[in-house]
Structure formats: C-alpha cells, structure tokens
Amino acid sequence: MDILANYGTILLIAAAVFGFMMAIGIGANDVANAMGTSVGSKALTVKQAIIIAMIFEFAGAYLAGGEVTDTIRKGVIDTTLFVNSPDLLVFGMMSALLAAGTWLLLASYMGWPVSTTHSIIGAIIGFAMVSVGSEAVDWGSVQGIVGSWVITPFISGLFAYFIFISAQKFIFNTDKPLQNAKKYVPVYMFLTTIVIALVTIKKGLKHVGLHLSNGEAWFWSVAVSLLVMFIGYLYIQKRFQLDDENHEHSFTGVEKVFSTLMVITACAMAFAHGSNDVANAIGPLSAIVSTIENMGEIAEKTTIAWWILPLGGVGIVVGLATMGHKVMSTVGTGITELTPSRGFAAQLATASTVVLASGTGLPISTTQTLVGAVLGVGFARGIAALNLGVVRNIVVSWVVTLPAGALLAIVFYEIMLMIFV
C-alpha cells in the first residue's frame, strides 16, 4: 500500500504511456487488418483508408468503447485475490500492457496480422500465474473468450459467404448486372448503415448522456439507414449512367458501384473496430487508474476516467498512420484476390460480427473475424482462390501470440518488482 501512496503519480504516468503504446500497437496491426480489404480491392488508397480510419476509429473508441472494457478489466482474472496486495495488480496490469504493446509493435514491423486480444489476455494470464497462481485466472471466463475466437471467424465467414453469394445471384449472374447493381447496392447500404447506427445509438450515446429505449433506437437506426439508402440510390443513378449492353463493360461498372459502397463499409468497419478493440488498451489501464486513485481499494465497478477513452483513440490513430501499411498489404492482397464486391462482403460480415460481439461484451479478435470473412469469400469462389500458404502463416502467428504475450508479461513483471519492491 505504501508503494501506491509513494509512487502513485509515477505509476499513473507510466501506465498511461504503456496504455498509449498498446493502443499504437492496435492501430498498427488490427486497424491495418480492418482497412486492408478496402486497400487490397483498390476501393481506397492507403492515404484515404488512413483518413477514414482516423475519424471512425476514434469515434468508435470514444462513443462505444466502454462495454468490452469491463470484460477485459474484471473478467479474465479474479481481482479479489489481490485485495491484500493491490500494488501487485497494478504492476501486473502495467506489465501486461507493456508486454502486449511490445509484441504488437514487433509483429506490425514484421507485417504479421496478429490478434491484439490474444496478446493482452495472454499477458494478463502470464502475470496472474506468477503473482498469485493459477487460481487467480478465471478459467470459465477465459474459456468463453477462447470459444469466441473459434466461433466468431466461423460466424463472419458464414456471413461473408452468404453476402457474396447474394451479390452473385442478384447482380453478377444476371443478364443486366449493372442495372441490378444500381437497384440492389442501395439495399446493401441500408444493411450496412443499420449495423453501425444501432451500436452507435444503443451503446455510444450513453457516453454523451442520451439514453434511448429499444424502440427509439430502432426507429432512429432505420430512419438514418433509409436516408443513407436514398442518398446512395440517387448518387449511384447519377454517377453510373452507363450503357448496359456490353457485358464486360457492365462488370467493370458493377465493381465501381461496389467501390462506392466500400467507403461506407470501411467507415462501419473502423467504427466497429474502435468500439471493440480499444478495450484491449484501456481495460488494464482503467484497472490501474481506479486502484491507484482509490488508494489500493479494488472496486467491483468503476467509471472509466474521462481521459482514458480519448488516449486509446489517439494511440490507435498514431499506430495506423505510422506503421499500418505493412499489415494492410498482407491482409489486402495475401489471402485471396479481392475486388470491391468481394471486399465489401468481407467487411460487412466482419463489422456485423464485431458489433454483435461488442454489444454482448465478448472481447473477440478482429483479426480472426476479418480473416474468417475473407476465407468465407474465398470459399464462395472455390478453395483454389485461397493462398493457403499465407493462411497457414497467419494461423501460426496467432498460436505464437498467446504464449509470447504471457512470457513478455512475466519478464516485465519481475523487472517492475525489482525496481519498486
């Protein structure tokens, strides 16, 4: 307890720096995953993708980022075991942030799309095992989280498969694909907007003091989505007044229509990612701040300090802008050849799955969700469309991430004990 009283301010500043570093790692790695499909399909340039991600990642983190944070902060380990030694919890959470951030920056530098969720949870388990023992880990909660890593890529793959198949049926495999694209793409715009609007209204607006009932949330979500669909319809009709007689030419036109749609799904994807994955950086930071401010009292439920969500949002943006391009190219062009229509199917599926998980408080891996969706699109075209070598390398990097996070956390934890105790 004396340690927290004597070094509280230093520990807070160090924790904020480690949390910021972790957020940079998330931006460099996971956000690059999120925008990779847009860049790989050439719907957006790298510069455009970074600008979109900057705006919507920050908005997602700030408006809708609070729900998952509780799961990361309280769910993985049993914090009641640290009641008599809260300083160990603070050191542990700090070492977890530093370990996960270090691993993510290394992976981003190498161009590996790894899971930030794996990194932080592996790190938290690592320090808990050496500080208190295996009983500190809430294995039931961990099982649920690990289960979600298996289930979510499957769900997003399934979503992507059916979204892509629907586009094939209603647009590509018809006599007049461009005409049908102009008719059906606004419907896809409606679906995309309703996903993002629902999570913003139901989750995000609580942070700015607006509490709407379920009925009101649905009403406004549908209203906003209908408006986007109407504007999208007018824009597409005006922009794509092309001759539909030439079949090849119309396919090019169809992909251009989907490029327009990809801008909306890229925004949805960035917002969904910000709302879910900012928790990986601010969850442990929130635990540290509340423990230090309450002089060692480990609270069951705390409000997130006002500066933590913006710190996570800014860190994500910095990471994307400085190091994001390497992982972006791996995901965008490595797994399967993406066109705007394929990229759209993968992105809408990923955004829907991430938003679903974020709303239920499950900290899923965005990386695995997106790769699952890209695989789903690839399967829709046949197994030969997938680069299985790249897929194998990605899966191997996922497996390595959990123990890497745990080992680094143990090393940093021991170093902190040597410095402060």
Average pLDDT rounded to a whole number, residues 237-245: 65
**153, 367 Cβ separation under 8 angstroms:** no
Is 90 exceeded by the pLDDT of residue 407? yes
Is 60 exceeded by the pLDDT of residue 246? no
Distances (CA, A) of 353 to 67, 238, 297: 15, 33, 36
> 3-state class of 339 per DSSP?
coil
Task: Return d(Cα 415, Cα 366) in angstroms, integer.
Answer: 31
Tally of CB atoms within 10 A around 242: 16
Higher pLDDT, residue 116 or 227: 227
pLDDT digits (tens, 9 = 90+) for 323-382: 888 788 777 777 777 888 888 888 888 878 877 776 676 767 777 888 888 888 888 877
User: Residue 282 corresponds to which amino acid?
Assistant: I
Average pLDDT rounded to a whole number, residues 402-407: 90
pTM of the model: 0.79
- Which range, of 118-127, 175-184, 202-211, 349-358, averages the lowest pLDDT? 202-211
When pLDDT is cut at 50, 70 and 90, the band that residue 406 belongs to is very high
For the chain, give the percent of residues with pLDDT over 70. 86
When pLDDT is cut at 50, 70 and 90, the band that residue 225 belongs to is very high
Is 80 exceeded by the pLDDT of residue 236? yes
- Which range, of 14-18, 22-26, 168-172, 236-240, averages the lowest pLDDT? 236-240
State the pLDDT at residue 104: 94
pLDDT digits (tens, 9 = 90+) for 76-103: 787 777 888 888 888 998 999 999 999 9
When pLDDT is cut at 50, 70 and 90, the band that residue 226 belongs to is very high
Higher pLDDT, residue 259 or 1: 259
Which pair of tokens denotes residue 370? 């997106």
What residues have CB less than 8 Å from 196, skipping those under 6 apart?
A: 267, 268, 271, 272, 351, 355
**421, 391 Cβ separation under 8 angstroms:** no
Task: Return d(Cα 414, Cα 418) in angstroms, integer.
Answer: 6
DSSP track, 150-191: HHHHHHHHHHHHHHHHHHIIIIITSS-HHHHHHHHHHHHHHH
pLDDT digits (tens, 9 = 90+) for 50-76: 888 888 888 877 776 665 555 555 567
